[in-house]
Amino acid sequence: MDLNLRLLLAMLVLASLLIYTTPTHHVNSEISNRQKYIVRVRPPPNFSPDMSSSNLETWYRSFLPPSSMGASRPHTPFIYTYREAILGFAVNLTKVEVEYVTKRDGVLNVYEDYLIPLLTTHTPEFLGLRSNGGAWNSIGMGEGTIIGLLDTGIDMSHPSFHDDGMKPPPAKWRGSCDFGDAKCNKKLIGGRSFSRGHVPPVDNVGHGTHTASTAAGQFVEGASVLGNGNGTAAGMAPHAHLAMYRVCSVWGCWNSDVVAGLDAAISDGVDILSISLGGRSRRFHQELLAIGTFSAMRKGIFVSCSAGNSGPSSGTLSNEAPWVLTVGASTMDRQMKAIVKLGDGRSFVGESAYQPSNLVSLPLAYKLDSGNVKGKVVACDLDGSGSSGIRIGKTVKQAGGAGMIVFGKQVSGHNTFAEPHVLPASYVNPIDAAMIREYAKNSSNKPTASIVYEGTSLGTTPAPVVAFFSSRGPSTASPGVLKPDIIGPGVNVIAAWPFKVGPPTSANFVKFNSISGTSMSAPHLSGIAAVIKSVHPDWSPAAIKSAIMTTAYAVDGNKKPILDEKFNPAGHFSIGAGHVNPSRAINPGLIYDTDEEQYILYLCGLGYTDSEVEIVTHQKDACRKGRKITEAELNYPSIAVNAKLGKLVVNRTVTNVGEASSTYTVDIDMPKGVTASISPNKLEFTKAKEVKTFVVSLSWDANKIKHAEGSFTWVFGKQVVRSPIVIF
């Protein structure tokens, strides 16, 4: 979710929950207290994908309590019926009716519905994607692929979604365009709404428009936020098609709506799913998003999900399933500089996307409640309430303040945010904020401050840096699979927006906005996956994920380890395999592929019961006769292992997707105290798609080694296939 919206959403969600759960004292209170549930069932006898909707609905109806239970039920009680993401339905039930349904043969689980939070002009160049060179020039721009987004809707009139130069959608497309009288085009080929009220999938929040244009927006010249960050905007896959499934509103995203959107996207024929939403960690059979994305993976659909905005604390991830790409957020090498100059001569570099004329030296006040702030520069703390600098700025402006200095939260380290403020402002990091705060509180010096705007700077260092808010591993649901998988741009991302931003009197620029969150990083990877898919249409989701992970880089532009928000080296629980490198991901050389059967055995190895595995995978009696593999045995492009074990011996299998005749040698990089070997240490291929298996052996003193990180890399010429290792 855009961090600027967090407080408003939290308040609205709390209000909605209070309204939703307040008990009524009506005579028929049990009936009037119906709530929404999602019922997951086994398939009916003789089920086939071609079974008619009416027959499937008749089957679903057989699980409901008879009308004699006291309520006159409508002829069609279902809110949604599902057949692709899950087999089941959403329905309003009382507690008594839930007990009845739960006990019915064929019912696998009943879930109470809940809200899930919603979690550019320069990023293509930063990632090596350019129309006059780089990956775009050599392999195309995602042509022929369809990206489906589960989000808040889309502003279909925005120039990012025009269809100049686009080809018609692929023949497999089965979706619909439900924008009322407005028509879809060859870029935006579909749109449906599943959020409450069933209004057209028009974006009245901004989030969906921003993520859609980040993934696959068309080229828009002269894009900027209030004249800053100026350039030609484009998504990662400018020639890919888009389909929007509105499953969220300003309130958040109801789980039942999300599953309905997943169900539709799978049925419609999307190639890529971009999901910038996610809640707290749950076991996979309890997480409908994990279940629905498993169904998408089975159909060959690649899924990119936000890692979450709960960093920098460890173990805070969302969307942890190994069959999805879990994406963290990083900064890029661009700053919209707003220099704060104090009366004592000191200067501090902050950021702002609104850059009017320089603000001359004025009295400096610390906090709004410090007395009369009219005509002053007001220094304000960002507390834990979720208030954004923009919202605080509106309050400062209403109080007569002439300008504002936003103090970043202590946890944010060196991260700064370029927001479209409503008055002259600068966001400074908490290190600088501490010095400004001390100066501002010393009233005997009559403190003053000015703000000097220096426009947009490119090539700033260090970059990339992990965003402080980006959720960290280890995974709670599956610690033995390294998550997040990857990081990508998620700070101050400029992309399409449906509304005007900044002061009411600002110039009427084409509508773009600069916002931050892992919501912004996930669609970058969705678009990159679409580019890869357009070149390699036969690759599985796991193959695309492997290509992205093994070609990622773990060093910044200065060839030094990627840093976290405090400028310390970032570990793999922050960056996963590293920062995405699209130009190399197109041709990874080797891939680690994983099929549905492996995921099933992996779930068995996690200790899930047959019934729990069936809930996720649709496979009955999957763990029969003790069939299972450990997390480490999953053919994943990374390795994570508990330090208490003291050793690990696992196989990995790679497929040659590079030169037919090639010989890869291994390079192992592990810290002192960890013994590592790869056998064989050379892989010789004589043909394309040839498969080779090797053994990874690790050992360490469990009494001495509590955490260690390293990697092993297969090298052939310019092909570098790297896999991170974490002992934790």
Enumerate the active-site residues: 151, 207, 519
The amino acid present at 30, given as its one-letter code, is E
Query: Do 519 and 207 touch, CB atoms closer than 8 A?
Result: yes
Query: Do 646 and 700 touch, CB atoms closer than 8 A?
Result: yes
User: In angstroms, rounded to a whole number, what is the distance separating the alpha carbons of residues 490 and 229?
Assistant: 15
Strands (E), 286-402: 302-306, 325-330, 334-342, 347-351, 359-366, 377-381
**Any idea how long the chain is?**
728
- One DSSP character per residue, 206-233 reads SHHHHHHHHHHPPPEEEEEETTEEEEEE
Listed in sequence order, the residues at least 6 apart from 11 whose beta carbon sits closer than 8 Å to its beta carbon are none
Listed in sequence order, the residues at least 6 apart from 269 whose beta carbon sits closer than 8 Å to its beta carbon are 146, 170, 172, 173, 174, 175
Determine the angle formed by the axes of helices 596-605 and 288-298, rounding to 10 degrees: 150
Distances (CA, A) of 169 to 62, 159, 178, 226, 242: 39, 19, 17, 34, 10
User: In angstroms, rounded to a whole number, what is the distance separating the alpha carbons of residues 603 and 182?
Assistant: 45
CA-based torsion, 507, 508, 514, 515: positive or negative = positive
The gap from C-alpha 148 to its chain's centroid, in whole angstroms, comes to 14
Q: How do strand 302-306 and strand 325-330 relate by DSSP bridges?
A: parallel
Locate 616 and state its tokens.
């996720």
Locate 296 and state its tokens.
């998408």
Q: What angle do CA 231, 235, 240 make, to 5 degrees?
A: 140
User: In angstroms, rounded to a whole number, what is the distance separating the alpha carbons of residues 160 and 180?
Assistant: 20
User: In angstroms, rounded to a whole number, what is the distance separating the alpha carbons of residues 258 and 96?
Assistant: 26
Distances (CA, A) of 91 to 37, 59, 214, 251, 679: 6, 14, 35, 20, 55
Query: Do 353 and 514 touch, CB atoms closer than 8 A?
Result: yes
Distances (CA, A) of 580 to 325, 342, 548, 627: 12, 39, 6, 35
Query: Do 451 and 341 touch, CB atoms closer than 8 A?
Result: yes
End-to-end CA distance of the chain: 29
Strands (E), 549-635: 590-591
